[in-house]
Structure 1
Amino acid sequence: MFKGGYNIILAIFCLLTVIIVGNKITYIIGLKFIGDYQVYHQYEEWERKQLRDNPDYDNLWILINIDSKQLKVIDLDTKEIIKKYTVATGKDDTPTPIGDFKIVQKAQWGGSFGSRWMKLNVPWGNYGIHGTNKPNSIGRSASHGCVRMRNKDIEDLYSIVKYNTPVTIEGGPHGAFNYGFRVLNPGDKGADVQEVQKRLKIKDYYNGNIDGVYGEAMKSAVINFKKKNELALNHSIDYEMYEKLGITLME
């Protein structure tokens, strides 16, 4: 017996966090409840209906530009921009990740995440597109790396975006290197690590995952690259190694 006298029978079809506060259930979409309190349908059911009712929204691409603070929704079938929003992106010391990602989770969290949340599959951290309880931050570099939107805008975007929708984030003073080169060491994570992995793989030194995480496989690749290029043998990726890799900062 739960508070308030409601008998609730829950059938849980996938693992998800449920928070019961009084008589209110806050949930992350994906969980399905069956009982005399309320029925929540799985997100996939809603998504199928949404795509049936809005067939034009079946093949979308989200493009976010850090410099202009613009998020555009592009219909890949017609190559037309169908939505455009002003957003907030990361601060200088907590930059928004650069690269190509996908939407892998959709939820309604509330609080500082606003009315909606959509997680990106960034390998080196938890980042997403979400609403905000600080609407005055929109249009600025104000977040801890996530992309913030006005709540009415994220609700609009959320309603047409499905799982695995591609998201490209571009811009910044130096692209993947955000605000300049940093010396990379084992354990470091980020878009800059990912870019170095790509270069090492192209040159046949690295056969690990392009995941933006400086792990064991990358350590071996760095040592082998440095031996071949007569650089000091250590695991640090410094300015001299960037130069040998052919990586220069964009002006």
Structure 2
Amino acid sequence: MARLITAITIAILCTFIFINDSHAQAIDRTDFPVLSIAEPAMQGDAVLLLQERLSELGHDIKPTSVFDSKTKERVKLFQIANSIEADGIVTQEVWELMFEKSMQPSAVIASDNIEEEQAKMLIEIDTVHKTLTVYKNGEFFKKYPCAVGKSKTPSPLGEWKIVHKGLNWGSGFGTRWMGLNVPWGIYGIHGTNKPGSIGTAASHGCIRMFNRDVEELYPQIPYGTRVRIVEDGKLFPGDFKPRKLTKKMSGQDVVYVQSQLKELGYVFDNADGRFGNMTEFTVKYYQAWNGLDITGEVTEEMYRSMGMID
């Protein structure tokens, strides 16, 4: 179970509003940043997120946004409790363990039938129109303005799920946080202390909302709620550099291939950026029906066959 929830979300660290001074190392990334004692000290929202999560898990730590000796000691305690090397260094393994523990039934779900509640809700975020639209039972419910990722750090297109929820995760995340199960980084839907950014491409990949809006939305969204992030209604923008894809890989280009296969009528699970068993099976099925070598790998020949490159 633990390894199936790659990046359980660490789907968090969205905006990365780091303090920029010469006496600190700002970690401006969304891909499981490695955190440790350093000179100058690491600080920013990556560290704040770590400290907030440790506090949420019951560790005695005051979030300061600075990775100091006390933070290292609390990380070591967490590592000891999870039977991994206790070196006080936050690696991808630590992030994943830290957030997979958040897969608990949501306290805000009114119904006893969690699967029924999940099926009722769908969130669709359009990165072109900067909108977050909520659907209930397949029908439009409400639309909110939002901010999305900048061109250099785009929001991840794909079909995701809400896998973590939290309150008041520091000013950079506003008053509410809902993390996504994106396998290659740290993304979520959250509030903001920069309301002027709403309606623009301003974040490092996460979805920002006005605090009042995310507070209204938060109690209505159970764990497992589906989230689609699209570009002008589409999961596949058509402007990417193809690479050979094989089983166990992940990334935005895996989403594009999954999405294109679905557009061509090959139905399987979500376009979630994970090249697993079902994606491999579908690739082989496509290759068999289109006279290609049945390898289960996405090569230049298959990209061309699907109309994704010239």
- TM-score normalized by the length of structure 2: 0.51
Gaps of 5+ in 1: 1-14, 23-27, 32-41
> How far 1:105 sits from its partner (Å)?
1.1
Mapping of 1:84-163 within 5 angstroms?
84-108=143-167, 109-163=169-223
Q: Is the 8 A contact 2:148 2:202 kept in 1?
A: yes
Aligned equivalent of 2:133: 72
* Cα distance change on mapping 1:72 and 1:192 into 2, 3 Å: same
Return the offset for 1:188: 6.8
Shift, 1:172, TM fit: 4.9
Structure showing the higher strand proportion among its residues: 1
User: Structure 2 CA distance, aligned partners of 1:98 and 1:67?
Assistant: 12
In the TM superposition, residue 195 of structure 1 has moved relative to its aligned partner by 2.9
Q: For residues 171 and 107 of structure 1, what CA distance do their matches in structure 2 show? A: 27
Question: Match for 2:175: what amino acid?
Answer: S
Distance 1:156 1:214, change over 3 A: same
CA distance 1:179–1:243, change in 2 (3 Å): closer
Is the Cα–Cα contact under 8 Å of residues 159 and 271 in structure 2 kept in the other structure? no
- Residue identity in the other structure for 1:154: V
In structure 1, what is the equivalent of residue 58 of structure 2? 18
Match of 1:193 in 2: 254
Q: What one-letter code is carried by the residue in structure 2 that aligns with 1:96? A: S
Whether 2:114 is the aligned partner of 1:59: answer: no
Preserved contact between residue 71 and residue 86 of structure 1 (Cα < 8 Å): yes
Higher relative contact order (CA 8 A, sep 6+): 2
Q: 1:213 to 1:47 in 2, by over 3 A?
A: closer
Q: Which residue type is aligned with residue 146 of structure 1?
A: C
Distance 1:156 1:213 in 2: 31
Residue 245, structure 1, aligned to residue 285, structure 2:
no
% identical aligned pairs: 40
Residues 19 and 154 of structure 1: CA distance in aligned 2, closer, same or farther (over 3 Å): farther
Cα deviation for residue 202 of structure 1 reads: 10
| Structure number with larger C-alpha Rg | 1
Shift of the alpha carbon at 1:69?
0.6
Amino acid at match of 2:57: T
1:162-210 per-residue CA deviation (whole Å, 9 max, x = no partner) reads 111122222259x44447121325697433223325667999xxx9x96
CA contact (8 A) 1:185 1:237 kept: yes
The number of equivalent residue pairs is: 201
Question: 1: CA distance between counterparts of 2:161 and 2:214?
Answer: 16
> Normalized against structure 1, the TM-score is what?
0.61
- Measured in 2, the distance between the counterparts of 1:57 and 1:211 equals 17
Q: Decide whether aligned partners of structure 1 residues 153 and 198 sit closer, same or farther in structure 2, where only a CA change above 3 A counts.
A: closer
Give how far 1:66 is off.
1.2
Which runs of no fewer than 5 residues in structure 2 stay unpaired? 1-54, 63-98
SS of equivalent residue, structure 2 residue 213: helix
1:184 aligned residue = 243
Equivalent position SS for 2:162: strand
Find the aligned partners of 2:263 and 2:229 in 1 and give their Cα distance. 23
Partners in 2 of 1:147 and 1:127 — Cα distance?
8
| 1:45 Cα deviation after fit | 3.8
